Amino acid sequence: MNGPYKPGTPCWIDLMVPDQQAAIDFYRDLFGWQGEIGPPETGGYAVCTLKGKPVAGIMKAMNPDGSVPDPMPPTVWTTYLSTDNIDGTLKSVTDSGGSVMMGPMDVMDLGRMAVITDPTGAVVGLWQPGTFDGAGIVNEHGALIWNDLATGDVPAASAFYSSVLPVTTAPSELPGAEGYIEFEVEGRAVGGIMDLAQLPPGVPPHWQPYFHVDSVDDIQAAVVRAGGSVLAPAFDMAAGRMAVLADPQGGAFAVITASAPQQPA
């Protein structure tokens, strides 16, 4: 990736965990990422890299004052959508029935961020780039290839995101993907929406990252060996072969060997 992501496109992901070093070690062994706990002035935030390019962030779960949360929040991956005007986007968020969980805040000269909740209950981040555009490598083994939203109200989610960012939605044209909605930026698919009814009962609305891998089955086996879990065993679907997994601290993510182009940017 060279240059900023178009507004509305997923551009970055990060993980919040109780044990930051354990998570860095897990994803290093799984995907080949390199990373280390960052300096105190950034809250220890670790920017993980692949082939020298940033691919994801990993941070320790903590309160704003640096204390340990009690209870500890769930371990989750957060997807960030690019915007060129975070203040304007946040106004649209509240005008359209969403809420602001955090921000906006400056991240040194890297950019500005915020975290919101959409009207269906899913949490997603916003990123206005400064010197940092987001993921520097995508669509390769161990790197981000796709993001989608699971929600209990697909029409409401479609309307919300289309009202706050320059995205449109359209039914997927992939055979076997009936009911799956694609987010498009300038006519190009950059993400998707699926109905929570397709997932096990009790799964809350959420955004989920997908990583491209050379072998879904090998990665699934590696996750199990490392103490992670399998949420949806490897299966073949419209866009390729995929599995939904969780790291040892419970952070859920999907892996896919895509048979059709799926690109976040």
* Sheet of 240-246, strands arranged across: 168-171, 181-185, 188-195, 143-151, 206-212, 252-258, 240-246, 229-237
Percentage above 90 pLDDT, the chain: 83
Contacts within 8 Å (CB) and 24+ apart, 259-262 = 260/174, 262/139, 262/145, 262/146, 262/189, 262/210
- The yes-or-no verdict on residue 264 having pLDDT over 80 is no
Is the CB of residue 108 less than 8 Å from the CB of residue 129?
no
Q: How confident is the model over 208-231, as pLDDT tens digits? A: 999 999 999 999 999 999 999 999
The total number of residues shown for the chain amounts to 265
pLDDT band at 1 (very low <50, low <70, confident <90, very high): low
Burial class (CB in 10 A: 0-12, 13-18, 19+), 34: middle
* CA–CA separation, 151 and 124 (whole Å): 12
| β-sheet bridge partners, residue 168 | 184
- The yes-or-no verdict on residue 254 having pLDDT over 60 is yes
Q: How confident is the model over 121-139, as pLDDT tens digits? A: 999 999 999 999 999 999 9
Nearest to 76 by CA among 141, 39, 23: 23
Q: Which residue has the higher pLDDT, 40 or 232?
A: 232
CA 16 to chain centre: 12
* Residue 17: partners with Cβ closer than 8 Å, 6 or more residues away: 23, 58, 59, 60, 61, 75, 247, 249, 251
Work out the mean pLDDT of the chain and round it to a whole number. 93
- The yes-or-no verdict on residue 260 having pLDDT over 70 is no
Nearest to 31 by CA among 223, 207, 217: 223
